[in-house]
Amino acid sequence: MCSSPRMEKVITIGEAARRSGVAASALRFYEERGLIASERRGASHRRYPRAVLRRIAFIVFAQRIGLTLEEIGAELARLPVDRAPTRTDWARLSRGWSDRIDRRIAELERLKAGLTECIGCGCLSLDRCRLANPDDKAARYGPGPRYWVG
């Protein structure tokens, strides 16, 4: 596989932030957590390989579907470190995500349906709620928003 000089170009943290839409402080945080890596040159200025933009996009997407940074790190660790990930690498990584996304969609739909039924009344399921939680029956299922967490 031939790589062109353009493919190997490095970008500054400012350019990575601008291109990814993620604040430079977040990029430094991701780097501290080992999610992305930079090269240091001269006065310790960060330089990122252009392929870091895909990793950043993956991090943003993964956070939006509910993965923790630890889970994201574990997923990213499955990618090759000696080369830029290919389309096949990304497809392999995301193969098992369909079920997780479907569960997240179902959770959000339950939350949306519950907004008018529970939170809309303002009582937040206290013991006197006669609509969604009469006699505080949800308390026997444990703490927190039991109807939402299942």
Q: Domain ends where: 55, 71, 95? A: 95
**Joined tokens for residue 113:** 């349906």
The verdict on 76 and 11 lying in the same domain is yes
Is there a single domain that holds both residue 114 and residue 84? no
Answer for the pair 71, 62: CB distance below 8 angstroms, yes or no. Answer: yes
Output helix, strand, coil percentages for the chain, rounded to the nearest 5. Answer: 55, 5, 40
Residues 23-67 have pLDDT tens digits of 999 999 999 999 999 988 767 788 999 889 989 999 998 898 888
The answer on pLDDT for 106 being more than 70 is yes
User: What is the tally of structural domains in the chain?
Assistant: 2
CA dihedral 92, 55, 104, 115 (to 10 degrees): -170
pTM: 0.65
SS3 category, 27: helix
Percent of the chain with pLDDT over 70: 77
Three-state DSSP class for 57? helix
Q: In what order do the strands lie in the sheet with 39-41?
A: 10-12, 45-49, 39-41
- The 10s digit of each residue's pLDDT in 7-24 is 458 999 999 999 999 999
Check whether residue 42 and residue 64 sit in a common domain: yes
